[in-house]
Amino acid sequence: MVIADPVGGPPSGRVRDDMHPGPAVPRMVLGARLRRLREECLVSREEAGDAIRASHSKISRLELGRSGFKLRDVADLLTLYGVADEAERATLLALAGQANRPGWWQPYCDLIPDWAQGYLGLEQAVNVIRSYEVQFVQGLLQTEDYARAVIRLGHPPTPDELGRRIELRMRRQRILTMPDPCKLWAIVDEAALRRPIGGSEVMRAQIQHLIDISERPNVTIQVLPFHVGGHPAAGGPFSVLRLPERDLLDVVYLEQLTNAQYLNKQAEVDFYRHVMNQLGTTAMESSASLDLLHRILKET
């Protein structure tokens, strides 16, 4: 996705201290565990809310990972749910601490709208990202010059802001090259490869970069060619993110110009996974996509 920087267990062990994914994933993991504990002991949301002097709607937000956690509230809920084992309590309270820890992108917060910050946290913590792009090359696969041209399309920034936005985007890409990297499966519409973003020289370098990075075992690039005609994802780009925690469903990310949606209900996730699978069988296989990239490079 472009991401508006123009954009269970704890987070994956591949995340380094200087790339902490922020609160999004720990909140989701802890929320899912608290929900399971509450349901196992047959406590209603209203009863749980009373225990921490809050409403049932706050319990719902906590369990969905959409709110921060106070350590006192978590401790009170664990007591209500009968969690007496000190080791288990310590683990969950430590997770609550992680859920309040700022992400690595905090120095860039003035550039990132609130609705996009959750995605940055997810992106740094997931095991697999599957994406479909129509207009642009996937952000994790962009060169600096291509990213610069894309960012300028959104809103002409000052030179300092432009540099910081590019720096942010390049730093996000470390998840593909660090030890135990994220797996990226990117389906790119042919239109995105032929649209001359930044001019022919920038596009040549961008196509060459796609050719080079596709050699990495954790990166798969498929091109959806013009000749396939219509397809199930005609509504626009989207990403499906797979988290390492077994208690959590995949998250579907849909980005618009001024907001984003995070879908994590079973029916919604299943629908988008089905569409992504259909795109994967409709698009050219990775070897044929690589051949097309070489042809486009010669034509650019």
Q: Which tens digits make up the pLDDT trace of 42-67?
A: 999 999 999 999 998 999 989 888 78
Q: Are residues 143 and 78 in the same domain?
A: no
Is beta strand 183-189 parallel, antiparallel or unpaired with respect to 128-133?
parallel
Q: Is residue 224, in this structure, part of any structural domain at all?
A: yes
Predicted confidence at residue 216, as pLDDT, reads 97
Q: Are residues 67 and 202 in the same domain?
A: no
CATH code of the domain containing 187:
3.30.870
Q: Is residue 3, in this structure, part of any structural domain at all?
A: no
CATH code of the domain containing 83:
1.10.260.40
Q: Is residue 57, in this structure, part of any structural domain at all?
A: yes
Predicted confidence at residue 145, as pLDDT, reads 98
Predicted confidence at residue 26, as pLDDT, reads 82
Last residue of a domain, one of 75, 98, 121: 98
Q: Are residues 120 and 233 in the same domain?
A: yes
Predicted confidence at residue 160, as pLDDT, reads 93
Last residue of a domain, one of 74, 98, 122: 98
Instruction: Collect all residues with Cβ–Cβ distance below 8 Å to 40 and sequence separation of at least 6.
Output: 81
Q: Are residues 115 and 94 in the same domain?
A: no
- Describe the crossing of helices 24-40 and 86-98 by its angle, rounded to 10 degrees: 140
Q: Which domain covers residue 65, as residue numbers?
A: 23-98
Q: Are residues 213 and 287 in the same domain?
A: yes
Q: Which two tokens stand for residue 90?
A: 């310590």
Which is nearest to 198 in space by CA: 249, 159, 152? 152
Q: Are residues 282 and 143 in the same domain?
A: yes
Using left for φ > 0, alpha for ψ between -120 and 50, and beta otherwise, residue 224 falls in beta
Q: Are residues 52 and 125 in the same domain?
A: no
Q: Are residues 127 and 58 in the same domain?
A: no
Q: Is residue 17, in this structure, part of any structural domain at all?
A: no
Q: Is residue 261, in this structure, part of any structural domain at all?
A: yes
Q: Are residues 116 and 248 in the same domain?
A: yes
pTM for this one? 0.79
Is beta strand 183-189 parallel, antiparallel or unpaired with respect to 219-224?
parallel
Per-residue pLDDT of the chain (300 residues; tens, 9 = 90+): 555 443 433 333 444 445 656 677 788 888 888 998 999 999 999 999 999 999 989 999 898 887 888 999 999 999 999 999 999 899 899 888 878 777 788 888 899 888 888 788 888 888 999 999 999 999 999 999 999 999 999 778 899 999 999 999 999 999 999 998 999 999 999 999 999 999 999 999 999 999 999 999 999 999 999 998 888 787 789 999 998 777 678 899 998 888 888 888 889 999 999 999 999 999 999 999 999 999 999 998
Last residue of a domain, one of 37, 64, 98: 98
Predicted confidence at residue 18, as pLDDT, reads 55
Predicted confidence at residue 13, as pLDDT, reads 41
Q: Are residues 226 and 164 in the same domain?
A: yes
Q: Is residue 112, in this structure, part of any structural domain at all?
A: yes
Predicted confidence at residue 1, as pLDDT, reads 57
Q: Is residue 103, in this structure, part of any structural domain at all?
A: no
Residue 51 · residue 40 · CB < 8 Å:
no
Residue 100 · residue 25 · CB < 8 Å:
no
Residue 92 DSSP SS3: helix
Using CA atoms, how far residue 67 sits from 37, 125, 170, 193, 281, in Å, is 18, 18, 29, 39, 38
| Structural domain count, the chain | 2
Q: Which two tokens stand for residue 87?
A: 């080791």
Instruction: Collect all residues with Cβ–Cβ distance below 8 Å to 64 and sequence separation of at least 6.
Output: 28, 31
Predicted confidence at residue 174, as pLDDT, reads 93
Q: Are residues 127 and 174 in the same domain?
A: yes
Q: Are residues 147 and 253 in the same domain?
A: yes
Q: Is residue 14, in this structure, part of any structural domain at all?
A: no
Q: Which two tokens stand for residue 126?
A: 């997931």
